[in-house]
Amino acid sequence: MAAVTLAALGSDSRHGRLDPRSPDPEGSRAVAELLRARGVGTRVVTTAREAAEAAGPRTTVLVAHPDRLGPAQHRALRSAIDLSGGRTVLLAPGGTALDALAPAVHTAGTAYEAALAPACTLPAAATAGRADTGSGHRYTTTARGAQACYPSGGHPTLLVLPSATAGGDTVVLGSETALLNRTLAAEGNASLALQLLGTRPDLVWYLPSPADQQDTEGDTADRSFLDLVPAGWSWALLQLVLAAALAALWRARRLGPLVAERLPVAIRASEATEGRARLYRRADARDRAATVLRAASRERLAALVGVPSAHTHDPAVLLPAVSARLTDPPGRDLTALLFGPPPADDAALVALADHLDALEREVRTS
């Protein structure tokens, strides 16, 4: 057994949890190899339709994740369970899956112990002895002829239910642990897995694909948003909401009266202009002052003559428009006035400002 297990785990292929092709610790390739050594063939299917079509007296159908299926998939499997005459193994089904696939069984809380004693006369359980059937669901059942094994707190974690067709049965296993690669060699897990899955020559391992987990008949349209949230996320979302509310309350707290804030001193525009002019004069920045004066004049002139703002500082566009508004354009050197070099001295700077003012007045009154 150890050699087969090591061979199964030595492959480099990677699949998902409970996949009989996966050598990962959470996979189930080891049990598939042990079954193959005993003449039981394992075939993986990914849709409920394939699983139902493969069901028969010589077949065991293992449903790996029954709680992920929708009503349409549950109906297809239930029909196979009732009519096939083979064995169906449901791994850790919850309340919704049980209502659809094994309505005589109900959950009875969680079995917190991992390894449990069989405490029943089922040959498979008696041979295996203690096994890791705990750490999952416990069940109650009203089905006649049901065999209940591996109890925890008085409720079984393994049930074998006879089906409506002679020779068929349904196994409800409360935990997936016994089938995983990492725990197969512990306790009597390997023996229990082989006896539960190896009673027929063919094993159909149903791993629902993401597409098959969506109900194809539109039943999910009636589900609310909370119904679509995976188990456990609702509590996490509630904790996040409470944390956000506490943070908002903390940041919004006021522990006293409002504090009056002194506003900055208001400065008149004329004083700001004079202060800026003094700075230019102290730095002897006639070129910078002339540039500011000309740019401001060009912007005001462009607005007066209808030149777009994108062409305000383009001589080829602005000068013809301004010239058209003047009474004696030939006598004006608008290029030197609006785009010329910086003045040589303070007197020239003052004269430039006067000429710009005069030009603006003339354009405004034309």
Percent over 70 (pLDDT), the chain: 87
Q: What is the pLDDT of residues 263-300, one digit of tens each?
A: 677 778 888 878 888 888 888 888 998 898 999 999 99
Q: Which residues contact 131 (CB under 8 A, 6 or more apart)?
A: 115, 116, 118, 125, 150, 178, 187, 188, 189, 191, 192
Percent over 90 (pLDDT), the chain: 54
Distance between CA 97 and CA 170 in Å, rounded? 13
Q: Is the pLDDT of residue 331 over 80?
A: no
Least reliable range by pLDDT among 51-55, 79-83, 136-140 = 79-83
Distance between CA 263 and CA 260 in Å, rounded? 9
Own/partner pairs for 184-188, CB < 8 Å, 24+ apart? Answer: 184/5, 184/30, 184/31, 185/1, 185/2, 185/5, 186/115, 186/132, 187/115, 187/129, 187/130, 187/131, 187/132, 188/127, 188/128, 188/129, 188/130, 188/131
Mean pLDDT of 107-135: 93
Residues written for the chain:
366
Distance between CA 4 and CA 10 in Å, rounded? 10
Q: Is the pLDDT of residue 6 over 60?
A: no
Distance between CA 166 and CA 183 in Å, rounded? 34
Distance between CA 239 and CA 49 in Å, rounded? 40
pLDDT of residue 230: 61
Select from 215, 240, 245, 211 the least CA-distant residue to 227.
Answer: 215
Structure tokens at 234: 């609702």
Measured between alpha carbons, how far apart are the two ends of the chain, in Å?
107
Q: What is the pLDDT of residues 141-192, one digit of tens each?
A: 999 999 999 999 999 999 999 988 888 999 999 999 999 999 999 999 999 9
* The amino acid at 203: L
Q: Are 148 and 120 in contact (CB under 8 A)?
A: yes
- CB neighbour class for 300 (10 Å; exposed up to 12, middle 13-18, buried from 19): middle
**15 — pLDDT class (breaks 50, 70, 90):** low
**229 — pLDDT class (breaks 50, 70, 90):** low
Structure tokens at 6: 């090591």
What is the pTM (predicted TM-score) of this model?
Answer: 0.57
**10 — pLDDT class (breaks 50, 70, 90):** very low
Q: Are 49 and 209 in contact (CB under 8 A)?
A: no
Mean pLDDT of 27-38: 95
pLDDT of residue 61: 95
pLDDT of residue 94: 93
Distance between CA 246 and CA 223 in Å, rounded? 31
pLDDT of residue 3: 42
Q: Is the pLDDT of residue 71 over 60?
A: yes
pLDDT of residue 14: 52
Q: Is the pLDDT of residue 25 over 60?
A: yes
- CB neighbour class for 255 (10 Å; exposed up to 12, middle 13-18, buried from 19): exposed
DSSP three-state, residue 154:
coil
**81 — pLDDT class (breaks 50, 70, 90):** confident
Comparing 39 with 214, which gets the higher pLDDT?
39
pLDDT of residue 231: 55
Q: What is the pLDDT of residues 302-325, one digit of tens each?
A: 999 899 988 889 999 999 998 888
pLDDT of residue 244: 92
